[in-house]
Amino acid sequence: MNEKIQNINILLDKLRDFPKNFILAKTVEQAIYYLENYHVKIILLDHDLGEDRNLISTGYGLNKIYLWE
């Protein structure tokens, strides 16, 4: 069993600076890694991550597909 013991906060964004006490995830894949391996207390999601038009590669896509499964 993989226990998640470290509490973290994530900002999923490709362009912005991140607030103190947050870890920056520039891709949905990075955000999923943190969600699967850490106890995430707060996650801030950008609605789009630049030029990629794939819904899954957005903060909205992560929320809809991964967080609300």
The per-residue pLDDT for 45 is 83
Q: What is the largest CA-CA distance in the chain?
A: 38
d(CA 21, CA 55): 28
d(CA 9, CA 59): 15
Residue 1 lies in a domain: no
d(CA 45, CA 49): 10
pLDDT digits (tens, 9 = 90+) for 24-60: 998 888 998 999 999 999 988 876 665 555 545 677 7
Burial tier of 44 (Cβ tally within 10 Å: 0-12, 13-18, 19+): middle
Determine the structural domain holding residue 56 and report its residue range.
7-67
The per-residue pLDDT for 38 is 94
Into how many domains does the chain fold? 1
Looking at residues 6-19, what average pLDDT do you find? 85
> 62 falls in which pLDDT band (50, 70, 90)?
confident
> 18 falls in which pLDDT band (50, 70, 90)?
confident
